[in-house]
Amino acid sequence: MSTARVIKFFFREIDFKTWVNVLINFFFNFSIIISEVLFLSTFFILLNGKTTSENINNLFQKFEIYFSEQIDTIGNTELYLIILIFFLFLKNILTLVHNIYYNTFIFNLSVRKSAKILTSYINKSYEEFSKKDISIYVKQLVKDVEIVFVGIFGLIIIFTSELIYVIILIFFISNLVSFNPSFEVYLIVLLMIFILYGLYVLAKKYGDLRGSTEIVVFKTINDTLSVFKEIKIINSVNQFVKKYNFFLSKFFKTRVISSTINLTPKFMFEFFLVIFFFILFKNESKNININEFVIKYSVFAIGLLRLIPSFAKLSSYSSTILYNLKSIEFIQNDLKLLNMLQFKKGAKKHTLKNIKLSKITLNFGNTKSKLPICKINNFSHRLEKNKIYGIYGQSGSGKTSLLNIICGFIKPSKGRVLFNNKNYTSNDILRNFKVGYAPQIPAIIDENILVNSTLKYENSKETIDKLKFYLNLFNLKKFTKKIFFSDTKNSSIKNMSGGEKQRVGIIRALLYSPDLILLDEPTSSLDKKNEKKVYEFLRKFKKNKIIVVTSHKNENKKYFDEIINL
């Protein structure tokens, strides 16, 4: 990913408040640098009496005059020791406060963006959403968002702060003593730049490899755990673990190389610093002895030694940013999608009068190939209010697919779906009409009956009362107990039976009084008694509604006003 695209991405995604936080962060950083400079200046004056900078000398003379007027008995040495301790203490306090401030705002940014991307995922069309594995969505929400906004944007801020620190400190220590760089010094700097460039190229290469390998790791985990029972039955555990081990090892290999790249500059800077002082001493050995050299360059050396971690950090931050750039590509389109969807929020629901399916064809597989699989072919039908439609057909004939087309979860390869004689896009169907949908196997989350049925964490008394009515109606009375409506861990209903899950799915589809109700094999796991209860209620509930039910049971045809055969 190019530098220009990275800059464009962050300027689009970072709001004004965050930029203000960044500026405050730089203010903290600048304060720390000033305290560091004053600490080193105090230390230098303690050893040498004065610096080569007149501004620094004048500042400390003012300190001397001020404190001598306040405290008569204090000597210069004691005074400078107190000042030294003060600036050291100030620097550490500022660093602590700065660390708390930075981490608070940068992680809050990551939380906001993760929530924003989750919103984007939920607002996708079902067809678009289904293109990625659930494990990839989890990875992008939990890991890639943090990598982008903490591990890249955050590191860019820290990198800039560290760079300012290095520039100011180099400028400062170069004014403590004067020396003329020799040809050898320039050669060392050139060699360092060449090595750093090579490390950055490696970091970018292995960063791209990390991105692709990490996706495969998460997908392998999801695939393995989703067929848990089957793996145990046929005893293929070792093969799945072997595959997982291969990709995870490949992923961690990129981590090992990345950490090596991050450490290398520190050792390199330390080595070149020793060479630098050797050259410096060699060039000045004719004029001063080793003791004079140490005294003259002691603070200069301390300053450079303090810069080594900074140089190492700058290199480490750069390689880490390059290593993680791939994560921006994973989430940027989802953030763009949400920005587009936000303009369509709050659409008023229309009253549903009729639905017309006109020449619907649905092809699976590669539509560009010569032989795509045709699931539904040139299907037309008109659905009217006050009716229950029963869809019949062999397994694989497209019953579930037809339900998904009607409510806009998937788009037909050909044909149109007209609501009230008007053509709506797939996403706009759910935005403009009240739809209830129950899949054949409803997903039950690890929550209480209230959250599972309403799919909301905040519910009105009216909704709770309506839910209790449906629970009693469909023989789920035991779940009306208070414990199943509380937020305690014991209230989870995740392990309910298949029939109970199906009835919760039906309740979800009915609870908000939709105009269109789509039920996919809603009673396949129910006994005769509960099946009859469901269909008898639907017969009463169908007024001013369109109800479409898929079924394979011929005995249920008596409940339907019209049969559609696929």
pLDDT at 122: 81
Q: What is the pLDDT of residues 285-326, one digit of tens each?
A: 666 676 666 666 666 666 666 677 777 777 777 777 877 888
Mean pLDDT of 172-195: 74
The CA distance from 395 to 52, in Å, is 89
Q: Which residues of 377-410 are buried (b: 16+ CB within 10 A; e: fewer)?
A: eebebebebeebbbbbbeeebbbbbbbbbbbbbb
Q: Is 40 left (phi over 0), alpha (psi -120 to 50) or beta?
A: alpha
361 in the same domain as 332: no
Query: Does position 110 have pLDDT exceeding 80, yes or no?
Result: yes
Enter the tokens of residue 458. Answer: 């905040």
Closest CA to 270 of 202, 180, 188: 188
Query: Does position 537 have pLDDT exceeding 90, yes or no?
Result: yes
User: Is position 207 within any domain?
Assistant: yes
Judge contact between 449 and 505, C-beta under 8 A. no
For the chain, state the CA radius of gyration: 35
The CA distance from 344 to 222, in Å, is 33
Q: What is the pLDDT of residues 351-407, one digit of tens each?
A: 999 999 999 998 876 555 555 676 888 999 999 999 999 999 888 888 999 999 998
413 in the same domain as 291: no
Mean pLDDT of 548-556: 92
The CA distance from 138 to 218, in Å, is 9
The CA distance from 310 to 29, in Å, is 13
Query: Does position 218 have pLDDT exceeding 50, yes or no?
Result: yes
377 in the same domain as 331: no
CATH number, position 399: 3.40.50.300
| Beta-ladder partners of 381 | 357
Mean pLDDT of 181-207: 79
Three-class SS state of 289 = coil
pLDDT at 499: 92
Mean pLDDT of 183-202: 80
Enter the tokens of residue 511. Answer: 């609870």
Q: Minimum mean pLDDT among 42-56, 372-386, 523-537: which range?
A: 42-56
End-to-end CA distance of the chain: 49
556 in the same domain as 508: yes
Matching residue, tokens 């550490």 = 92
pLDDT at 340: 59
Q: Quick one: how far is CA 468 from the chain centroid?
A: 37
Domain closes at, from 306, 341, 376: 341
User: Is position 258 within any domain?
Assistant: yes
Domain around 31: 12-341
Q: What is the pLDDT of residues 392-446, one digit of tens each?
A: 988 888 899 999 999 888 888 899 999 999 988 777 888 889 999 999 888 888 8
| Beta-ladder partners of 565 | 392
User: Is position 509 within any domain?
Assistant: yes
User: Is position 423 within any domain?
Assistant: yes
83 in the same domain as 211: yes
H or E segment to which residue 183 belongs: helix 183-226
User: Is position 4 within any domain?
Assistant: no
pLDDT at 343: 46
Three-class SS state of 200 = helix
Q: Phi and psi for 439 in degrees, rounded to 5?
A: -70, 165
Number of domains in the chain: 2
User: Is position 242 within any domain?
Assistant: yes
384 in the same domain as 332: no
Residue with the bigger pLDDT between 489 and 256: it is 256
Mean pLDDT of 91-100: 91
The CA distance from 325 to 292, in Å, is 49
Q: What is the pLDDT of residues 26-45, one digit of tens each?
A: 999 889 888 888 887 777 77
Long-range contacts of 553-559 (CB under 8 A, 24+ apart): 553/523, 556/390, 556/523, 556/531, 557/390, 557/392, 559/388, 559/390, 559/535
380 in the same domain as 292: no
433 in the same domain as 294: no
Closest CA to 25 of 161, 152, 156: 161
Mean pLDDT of 342-349: 57
H or E segment to which residue 246 belongs: helix 237-284
Query: Does position 327 have pLDDT exceeding 90, yes or no?
Result: no
User: Is position 72 within any domain?
Assistant: yes
User: Predicted confidence band at 543 (pLDDT cuts at 50, 70, 90)?
Assistant: very high
Domain closes at, from 307, 341, 375: 341
431 in the same domain as 293: no
278 in the same domain as 316: yes
The CA distance from 428 to 347, in Å, is 9
Residue with the bigger pLDDT between 488 and 559: it is 559
Mean pLDDT (the chain) is: 83
Domain closes at, from 320, 341, 362: 341
Q: What is the pLDDT of residues 234-290, one digit of tens each?
A: 778 888 888 888 888 888 888 788 778 777 777 777 787 778 777 777 776 666 676
Closest CA to 297 of 310, 284, 308, 286: 284
300 in the same domain as 243: yes
CATH number, position 337: 1.20.1560.10
Q: Minimum mean pLDDT among 91-95, 212-216, 330-334, 366-370: which range?
A: 366-370
Residue with the bigger pLDDT between 160 and 338: it is 160
Query: Does position 341 have pLDDT exceeding 90, yes or no?
Result: no
Judge contact between 551 and 521, C-beta under 8 A. yes
291 in the same domain as 148: yes
Mean pLDDT of 526-554: 93
The CA distance from 247 to 121, in Å, is 27
